[in-house]
Amino acid sequence: MPTATLNGIRLNYDVTGSGPLVVLVMGTGSPGRVWRTYQVPALVAAGFRVAIMDNRGIAPSDECGGGMSVADLVGDTAALIEHLGGGPAAVVGTSLGARIVQELALARPDLVGKAVMLATAGRPHPLTHTMNRGEQALYDKDLQLPAEYAAAVKAMLNLSPHSLEDAQKAQEWLDIFEYSAAGKPSAGVRAQLGMDRSGDRLPEYRRITTPSLIIGFADDRMAPPILGREVAAAIPGARYVEIERCGHYGYLERPDEVNRVIIDFLAA
């Protein structure tokens, strides 16, 4: 993946395919390559040029361990779109990435032709707020949960019970989560966790004019569907789709259905 100096930092990104530009924005603590498993191949096959990136905080992009804001990540995404030829581009984000997309559509509507937000929210939720504080406290006190326990917690919080019914599939997820839980999070991930996301942004989202699609996941504990429906209600003309039998990682649990909804919206 190439690295370019954009918005004052080194930003690691990759572009695949040809056609209209789609930029994919990942959530807290995750690298952009997560999109490669399902979303990038589907979008390229549908005739899009797809860009992924490691958000600031995720190496080899600059970790910015001294701190960052959502506005910084919005500026990074805007700079990448401009670097790749300018907008308007379709921009798709999940979780924190979805909030970045919302704020980008608000701040730079010239760069966003269509916006897709997965597992999103426009205001704080007590569960995610408390989890965030707990994760920061673990880092700051130099504590680390046993990888096996961390994997089980992550599975229960981010996956649908339907995805865990089959013991073999459940074990596959747990193995992935246990492997990723090894080692202390980086200073960049700690900086992402420390960003201020305490404000209610729903009133501001009424000013978004970009055609928008919000996708909620029915069994999402981290961003309950009601929060996505609120975002859809706030953005004029936004469409809301809820996908059953998946949780916060719905784009990995039910990728075919998620991809179909996204592509239908982008191609319309």
The single residue of 30, 95, 160, 212 carrying the catalytic annotation is: 95
Contacts of 4 (CB under 8 A, 6+ apart): 10, 11, 13, 83
Please say whether the beta carbons of 77 and 106 come within 8 A. Answer: no
Whether 95 is a known active-site residue: answer yes
List CB contacts of 219: < 8 A, sequence separation 6 or more: 160, 161, 162, 244, 245, 246, 247
Q: Which of 54, 76, 219, 220 is catalytic?
A: 220
- Cβ–Cβ < 8 Å for 38, 107: no
Q: Is the dihedral of CA 253, 199, 136, 125 positive or negative?
A: negative
CA dihedral 22, 120, 250, 211 (to 10 degrees): -40
Q: Is 248 a catalytic residue?
A: yes
Decide if 198 is catalytic: no
Q: Which residues are annotated as catalytic?
A: 95, 220, 248
